Amino acid sequence: MESKEQNNNINNNSRKDNDKSRKNGKGFVVLLVIIIATLGLASAAFLEPKNPDSQKSAAQDSNYLDALFTASSQDTTFPEEDYIARIYISGVIEEANRSYNHRWLIDLVEKLEKDEHNKGIILYLDSPGGSVYESDEAYLAFSHYQTTRKPIWAYMSHMACSGAYYIACGTQFICANRNTLTGSIGVISGQSIDITGLMNQLGVKSKTFTAGRNKNMLNFNNPVTEEQDQIMQSIADEYYDQFTTIVAINRHIDKERVKELADGRIYTAKQALNSKLIDKICSYDECVTAMKAKYQFTDIQVADFAYKGAGSLMDYLMFFETNANPAKSIEEKVIDMISPSMKYPAYIYQ
């Protein structure tokens, strides 16, 4: 009898140990999955290819990422022999991101103006456009470069739409690959997402305290009024007129004809050439050869200038670890997901 009880105790203890082992094993597996998932997300972001359409990150995170990508200054070196500068403009044109930094670009153009070894610029464009402010300032910088009487040409690769085309108008000659998409001449003055109906269904209430009847316009908890429609449309119309005027002046096209072309659509390289929006369809090498021949540049090298973000793998890991469990309400998370990261008004193809 005593032996039977001892066997039962041994079996019970054995089952408890097995249960404990299984629980510990499950806990270890869960922990391992979490670690792998976290590292996977961080690695995916770090290794993510530069895609001009990938500008949909939450607006609240973009400020941190901007600082992350521009954490260290670019050490730009200039050749000590005569050269043509090939400047890359890729990705979304805004204050700063992984592939574009506005301050770096403007500073670079100013330095090239003063550099006696610099004999010209080829602007290499691969961008859907961007904000009105940065697009216009870059256009003005390249227009001012022309006062040096050095040649400046543009070459369009995959895409040079909206703000990127706007910038190209600051050059003297525009070449495009035969597969380029360009155009998209138009403006987005802003976006409004009204979720008041959804909030009512969910029983969520939100109120913004303001002074001035239009101070809260375009907020998620405020339906757009007819007056606010007119306000935003007036902004779009003003920047649209600015865009079409620049195209008309620099491309030597009657403004009424430009407005016919500027309905926001994109054009193939062949369509753009037929509409006089560009000057030549060719490869990049053919563009360089044509420029050298026109200005009798012999034995002149082409030097590349491209902005590269300063983020490290550890920076990305820390960013995603910090944001893995943000202390935000459901309402704030919804707003993060639906809020645009682009600063409006914008010349951008979406």
Residues 6+ apart with CB under 8 A from 265: 183, 184
d(CA 74, CA 120): 21
C-beta neighbour count of 190 within 10 angstroms = 17
Which of 121, 123, 128 shows the shortest CA–CA distance to 163?
A: 128
215 as an active site residue: the answer is yes
142-156: b or e for each residue (b if 16 or more CB lie within 10 Å)? bbebeebebbbbbbb
Distance CA 332, CA 222 (A): 16
Catalytic residue among 62, 99, 135, 162: 162
Catalytic residue from among 20, 23, 26, 215: 215
Q: What span, in angstroms and rounded, lies between the C-alpha atoms of 89 and 138?
A: 10
- Write the DSSP assignment of 181-246 as a string of letters: EEE----B-------HHHHHHHT-------SSTTTTTT-TTSPPPHHHHHHHHHHHHHHHHHHHHH
Residue in this structure with the two tokens 């997300």, named with its chain if needed: 41
Q: Which residues of 255-269 are buried (b: 16+ CB within 10 A; e: fewer)?
A: eeebeebbeeebbbb
Active site residue 162: yes
- Give the pair of three-digit tokens for residue 221: 């908890």
How far is it, in rounded angstroms, from Cα 234 to Cα 159?
A: 29
Residue 117's Cβ-side half-sphere holds a number of Cα atoms within 13 Å equal to 13
Task: Identify residue 12 by its one-letter amino acid code.
Answer: N
Q: Read out DSSP for 276-336?
A: TS-SEE--HHHHHHHHHHHTT--S-EEEEE-------HHHHHHHHHHTSS----HHHHHHH
Point out the residues that are catalytic. 162, 215
